[in-house]
A and B are shown apart, each in its own frame.
Chain A
Amino acid sequence: MADIITGILEEGLAYSIMALGVYLSYRILNFPDLSVDGTFPLGGAVTAALLQAGVNPLITLPVSFFAGAAAGMLTGWIHVKLRVRDLLSGIVMMTALYSLNLRIAGRANVPLFSRETIFDNAFLDKWVPAGVRPFLAVFLLFLIGMAMKRLMDWYLGTKSGFLLRAAGNNEALVTSLAKDKGTVKIIGLSISNAFVALSGCLYCQKSGFFEISTGTGTMVIGLASVIIGLKLFQKSTFVKATTAVILGSIVYKACVSAAISLGMAASDLKLITAVLFLLILVASNGRKGKVTANA
C-alpha cells in the first residue's frame, strides 16, 4: 500500500509541473495548445540523450526547460506570424516533434537504469541513509514542484505576467495598452512548454527510461489535472490556483491507479486516461465555465 501511495505521489508530482504549464496556456492564455504532446517527450528525449552522453544529470533540467521553451516559441510563431489556428499550430508542432524526439533520443525506447539520474547517483548513495531512500524521489520531486509553482506564482504577479493574463482575458485590452498581443502569446506558450518539457525530463529520470509513447495524451492528463484541481478547490480562498493544479495532478494519478488496481491492464492506460477525462468533463458541465465551454 505504501508503495502504491509513493508511486502515486511520484507520478502526480512529476506530472504536476506539466499541469502547471497546461494551466498557463489553457486557463490563463486561453490557448488549447496540443504541442504539449510533443514537448513532454521532448524533455525526456533531451534527457535520455544527455544522460547517455554521461552528462551530469542536474544539467538535464535547464536544458530540457529551454528546449521546451524553444518549441513553445515555435508553436506561438506558427500561430501568430503564419496565422495558423491555435489547435492546428499545436498539431503541427506535436507531429513534427515526434520525429524530432526520435532523432534526439536515437530510438523509441531508451533504458537509463544503468545511468546516474537526479534521483539515483553516487552523491545521494553516499549521503542519504538507506531507510529514507524509498521516499527520496517524492521528496526531490516535491521540492522541484514547489520551486516551479513559486516561479509561476511570481511570474504571474509581474507586469509581464499581468499582460499574459490580460491576453487570455481580453485581447483587445492588450492592444489598447499599446502592446503586440502576438508577442505576448508567444512568450506565454514558450513558458508553458518549458514547464511541460521539464516535467518530461523529471518523469523520464524517475521511471528510468525514455519512451516515445509517453507523449500521447499529455494534453488530456494536463487538462484533467487542471480541471480537477480548480474544481475541487474553487471554493477555498486560501488555496492558490497553482497549488490546486498540483493537487489535481496527484488526485488524477490516484484515480488512474485505482482504476488499474480494480483489474484494468496496464495497456489500458490511455483508455483509462480518456474515459476519466470524459467523466471529469461531464461532471464539471453543470456550471458553464470557460474550460467546459471550450473543451
Chain B
Amino acid sequence: MTPPRTLGGVPDPDEEELIERLRAGDESAFGSLVTRYHPSMVRVASTFVPSRAVAEEVAQDTWLGVVKGLPRFEGRSSLKTWIFRILVNRAKTTGGREPRTVELDTGDGLGSERFTAAGTWREPPVVWTDDIEDRLAAPEIAARILEVVDQLPESQRQVVTLRDIEGLSSKEVCDVLGISEGNQRVLLHRARTRVRAMLEDDVRRWGK
C-alpha cells in the first residue's frame, strides 16, 4: 500500500508522532522511515543523475540533510514532500544526466492519422479498459510502465514519477520541482498520454 498522504499540509497524526521519535533519535523510527522512502528516493533521484549508483549516493546524502534539518522541520508540508524537496535540490546540483540523443520511439498514439479532417476519430479507440487486468498480469504491467516512463524526456519523467507513481499532489509536485502548475499539467499530460499509448499497444499485441 502507498504510505499515508497529507493533503495540502494537513498534519497527519501518525507522521507527527514519527517526527517526534525521529527527533529523539529512535532507531526503529529511522528504520521505518528509510524503509518507506529510500527506494522512492532512489527512483526519483534517478531521473536527474546519470546512473543508479549516483542516485543511491544522492539519496544517502539526502538522508543526512533530513537528519540535519529535522529540528527545524515545521510540518508545513508533508514529511515526504519535504524529503523529496531536499532530494531534488541535491539531485539537481549533482545533475550530469546525459541529454537524450535518441528520440522516444513510442508515439503518443494520437498522430494525425487517427483523426479525420473534421477532427473525429478515424477509428475509435478499441475498448480495453474492461478487461486489462485479466489480460495482463499486474507485475507485467508495472514492469512495462516503468520501461516506458524511463524512456520519457526527463521533465515528463520527473513529473509523472512524483505525481502518479509517488502520489504527490500537483501542488506538491510544483513545490518539489520548482515548476508552475500549468507546466506541470502539460508535462503530466504528455507523459500519461504516452503511457496510455503503450498500454494500448501491449493490450493489442498480447491480448489476442
Chain A bound to chain B: no
List residues of A whose CB falls within 8 A of some B CB: none
List residues of B whose CB falls within 8 A of some A CB: none
